[in-house]
């Protein structure tokens, strides 16, 4: 097959963006209003994009890719290259660095999470959300607060918990802590929510 026969017209690529955006949002159980808060786009604009009534621009696609935690290529249905590697693009939120290790919408997502040294985290407020979370310490030490209990975990230790219990995770000392974390759509949304000004 020659190169010209593999090229996809721009109109065909953009035609699939709307349904894909809707599927990504629904997989995260996010409303248009929630996504509007995350992206700075209006709910009306988001609705028109999802319905194909508005042709997306790069300025609109970039915040959408960040909000959904997917590469820009995934939004515009770039043709597959046959390369199975996942291109790791870090997401920075509230002092955390989260590197996505999976790239499918919905379901369980895997991330490498890097917590800043203790005292540099922006908040220590306990959070709750639906779902379960599992994490494994790759490097450093973690301070893990779960309800009324507090734990210090080190390399090779893991924890699993119901995220409806108030919880907080952060580095336990002056070094960053690196974790492998697995969580569903609710946990992903909680961790990747934009910082409040």
pLDDT in tens, 114-136: 999 987 555 568 888 888 899 99
Tokens standing for residue 5: 């026969």
Please name the residue ranges forming H helices in the chain: 3-6, 10-15, 17-27, 32-39, 43-50, 58-68, 72-75, 185-192
Q: What is the distance, to the nearest Å, from the Cα of residue 167 to the centroid of all Cα atoms in its chain?
A: 19
What's the CA gap between 187 and 135, in Å, rounded? Answer: 12
Give me 185's structure tokens. 């759509």
Phi–psi pair at 30, nearest 5 degrees: -95, 145
Bridge partners, 161 (sequence order): 133
Separation in Å, CA 137 to CA 43, 60, 74, 118: 39, 36, 29, 16
CA distance 117 to 141: 10
Band of pLDDT at residue 61, cut at 50, 70 and 90: confident
Per residue in 151-168, pLDDT (tens digit) is 999 999 999 999 899 999
Mean pLDDT of the chain, nearest integer? 79
Bridge partners of 142, per DSSP, are: 153, 171
């Amino acid at each position: 097959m020659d190169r010209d026969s593999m090229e996809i017209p721009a109109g065909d690529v953009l035609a699939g963006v709307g349904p894909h955006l809707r599927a990504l949002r629904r997989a995260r159980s996010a409303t248009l209003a929630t996504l509007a808060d995350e992206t700075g786009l209006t709910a009306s604009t988001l609705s028109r994009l999802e319905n194909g009534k508005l042709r997306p621009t790069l300025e609109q696609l970039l915040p959408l890719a960040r909000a959904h935690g997917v590469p820009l290529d995934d939004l515009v249905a770039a043709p597959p290259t046959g390369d199975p590697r996942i291109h790791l693009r870090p997401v920075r939120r509230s002092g955390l660095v989260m590197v996505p290790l999976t790239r499918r919408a919905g379901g369980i997502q895997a991330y490498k999470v890097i917590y800043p040294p203790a005292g540099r985290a922006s908040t220590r407020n306990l959070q709750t959300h639906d779902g379960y979370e599992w994490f494994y310490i790759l490097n450093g030490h973690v301070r893990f607060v779960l309800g009324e209990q507090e734990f210090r975990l080190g390399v090779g230790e893991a924890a699993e918990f119901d995220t409806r219990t108030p919880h907080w995770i952060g580095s336990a000392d002056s070094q960053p802590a690196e974790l492998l974390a697995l969580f569903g759509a609710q946990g992903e949304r909680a961790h990747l929510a934009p910082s409040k000004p």
